Chains A and B, each alone.
Chain A
Amino acid sequence: MSLLQVENVTKRFGNILAVDNVSLRVEAGELRAVIGPNGAGKTTFFNLISGFHKPDSGRIILENHDVTDLLSTQRVWRGLARTFQITEVFPRLTVRENIQISVEVASGFRLRMGLSRGERLEVQARVEELLEWSRLARNAGRAVGELSHGDQRTVEIMMALALNPRLLLLDEPTAGMGERETYEVAQLIRRLHREKTLAIVLIEHDMRLVLRMADRVMVLDRGGVLADGAPAEIVADETVQAAYLGKAAA
């Protein structure tokens, strides 16, 4: 059984068919990319998987559980985490506090008015581990809003990782970044995939990055699936070249 199974989901906004009968399977440990021109429905598709929107039809199954009718929060509890195209963090709190909140929620402490010494040390150790792993430790005491765009994105990804997800959705993680920041975030995603062995679904515009990193690529166009396959197959696909890659190649 796949980790994530999206079966024929459709979403309309008024007269606009944003996602049209799209299916996707993601296996444990797989790095999947979803690409497509602007307006292809990629982010809406992510919003359907993560529970931000409800599909008009179709099913979403996460680890054998039908989560189609679950709220986004309940999907997080079932092992799904995501980042957004525009970085979503707690800007006035420090890097450490941002990650600490995620760790505490993931540890089931969100309603607690206090922690035992052992629990406190456990949370602290996990926060330090994440800070060290992501190389954010040097900025741990700074407000996240003061950091560079790349570091803010790293904080957002680490907040997602702190939840111990089985599936991580990354919506254009390198959007608006320079070459150096793009490289650093790409490295972080590679390390996440290799060392943390979690499945990742990635929306990305940077084709070099997608073709280098992804195990499989799904191409969306006008809400529907244009192609789905290994990166080499996608590059060779004529319809994809015409709709999307051709433009980039030109």
Chain B
Amino acid sequence: MTARPNPRLAADALIWLLLLTAPFWLNAVGGYTQLGSLVLVMALAATALNFLLGFTGVLSFGHAAFFGLGAYGAGLTIKYLVPSTLLGMLVGVAAAVAAAAIIGRLIVHLRGIYFAMVTIAFGQVFYFIAFRWNNVTGGDDGLSNWSRAPIDLGFARLDLPGSPTTFYYFVLFFFALSLAAMAWALRSPFGRTLLAIRENERRARFIGIPVDNHIWLSWLISCGLAGLAGALFALLNNFADPHDLRWDQSGEFVIMAVLGGMRSFWGPLVGAAIFVVLQDYVSTMTQNWMSFIGAFFVLIVLFFPDGVLGILRRA
């Protein structure tokens, strides 16, 4: 008897193989290693958002705030405190989690459009702080004149500033770790309570799930990982921009998740890859690159509500 191939495992293996080998084939298809890193960073942010949106059923339009807190946390630490990449990332994630914990407690009882609107409002508060606090954040010019530092592991030295390929694998390591953690969580009893809340909040409540608390925990995980993505984004660019915190950046994360397929674990990665690559290529031809992405997004939402991965699955 021959074992039947498992299409899901095969797809997982193919995705990881493509990600692991990306620096070796990206140039051949007209890309470059930093573009690969950017796809991973955006995919991490979109997957983090989708943990809340696709698997808990809660829409946030304010995730850029936590992405930006991660970016500024890392940048400010490296610029003003210690030139340590890992410590910068740690502070960035801690800032995002701390802010998410407080804001989450205030808004977690809201639902639907009310929750989404309040997340925009809170996100804009952080944007204006970064925009106005010139002395510390650099204001509209952003936080510059700092850069990611190499990491000494004892047995090896990671040349993050000098080697784009090393930095790509550095990002891939955190991307893989975060995705593994989210996948683990979603397959656990806690993850199943999130699916239960997404499916039917009233029933979830009446089987004894304290819904608000579980949404808060999901929000915390989601915002913390968005913060990690933000820290990696700042390290990628050696720069933190107040626009990283703005509501339109939050909208882009939502677009990536929906474009790829928010019911699917890999959907946001596919959405982020399409978004970033389209942005990179089309923006070299026209300033109106967003119109093309917008049109593509509208077509997908209208005709394939399960996103690009939904189309592939049907095929």
Among A77, A111, A112, A162, chain B packs the most CB atoms within 10 A around the CB of: A111
**How far is B185's CA from A73's CA once the two chains are assembled, in angstroms?**
23
Point out the residues of chain B lying under 8 angstroms from A97, CB to CB. Answer: 192, 195
CA distance A90 to B203 in the complex (A): 8
* B-contacting residues, A79-132, CB 8 Å: 81-82, 84, 88-93, 97, 100-102, 104-106, 109-115
- Interface readout for B233-262 with A: 1 if CB under 8 Å, 0 if not? 000000000000000000000000000000
For A4, list chain B residues within 8 Å (CB). none
Which residues between 159 and 213 of chain B lie within 8 Å of chain A, taking CB atoms?
184-185, 188-190, 192-193, 195-196, 199-200, 202-203, 205-211
Q: Which B residues are CB-close (under 8 A) to A82?
A: 206
Q: Are A113 and B192 in contact (CB under 8 A)?
A: no
Cβ contacts under 8 Å, A105 to chain B: 189, 193, 207-209
Q: How many chain-B residues does the 8 Å CB contact rule pick out?
A: 22
Least CB distance from A142 to B in Å reads 15
| A81 neighbours in B (Cβ, 8 Å) | 206-207
User: Number of contacting residues on A, CB 8 A?
Assistant: 34
Question: In the complex, which residues of chain B have a beta carbon less than 8 angstroms from the beta carbon of A90?
Answer: 195-196, 199-200, 203
Which residues on the A side are within 8 Å of B207 (C-beta)? 76, 81, 101-102, 105-106, 159-160, 162-163
Minimum CB distance partner of A144 in chain B: B199
- Whether B206 lies near A88 (C-beta < 8 A) is yes
Closest A residue to B211 by beta carbon equals A73
Which label, helix, strand, loop or mixed, suits the secondary structure of the B interface? helix
Inter-chain CA distance A112–B57, complex, in Å, is: 20
- B193 touching A113 by the CB < 8 A rule? no
Q: When the two chains form their complex, are residues A72 and B196 in contact, meaning their CB atoms are under 8 A apart? A: no
A104 to chain B, nearest CB (A): 4
Task: Name the residue in A50, A72, A88, A114 with the highest tally of chain B Cβ atoms < 10 Å from its Cβ.
Answer: A88
Q: Is the CB of A73 within 8 A of B208?
A: yes
**Contact present for A77 and B208 (CB under 8 Å):** yes
**Chain A residues within an 8 Å CB radius of B188:** 112-115
A72 touches B205 (CB 8 A): yes
Inside 8 A of A50's CB, which chain B residues have their CB?
A: 206
Name B190's contact: one of A76, A93, A106, A113 (CB within 8 Å).
A113
Contact A159:B190 (CB < 8 A) given known A110-B209, A113-B184, A113-B185: no
Residue of B nearest to A76 (CB): B208
Residue of A91, A106, A160 touching B199 (CB-CB under 8 A): A91
A67 to B18, CA, bound (A): 56
Shortest Cβ distance from B263 into A: residue: A92
Quick one: which of B199, B200, B205, B208 contacts A110, CB cutoff 8 A?
A: B208
A102 to B209, CA, bound (A): 9
CB <8 Å contact, B189 and A112: yes
| A101 with B193, Cβ < 8 A, contacts A93-B199, A113-B185 known | yes
A73 touches B209 (CB 8 A): yes
Interface residues of B (CB under 8 A from A): 184-185, 188-190, 192-193, 195-196, 199-200, 202-203, 205-211, 214, 217
* 16 extra A-B contacts, CB within 8 A, seeds A89-B200, A105-B208, A115-B189: A73-B205, A77-B208, A88-B202, A91-B200, A92-B199, A93-B196, A93-B199, A97-B195, A101-B189, A101-B193, A105-B193, A110-B190, A110-B214, A112-B188, A115-B188, A163-B207
Can you report 21 A-B residue pairs in the complex whose CB atoms are below 8 A from each other? A50-B206, A71-B210, A72-B206, A73-B209, A89-B203, A90-B203, A92-B199, A101-B189, A101-B195, A101-B207, A105-B207, A110-B190, A110-B193, A110-B208, A110-B214, A111-B217, A113-B184, A113-B185, A115-B188, A115-B189, A156-B203
Q: Which 4 A-B pairs have the closest CB atoms?
A: A90-B199, A76-B208, A88-B203, A104-B189
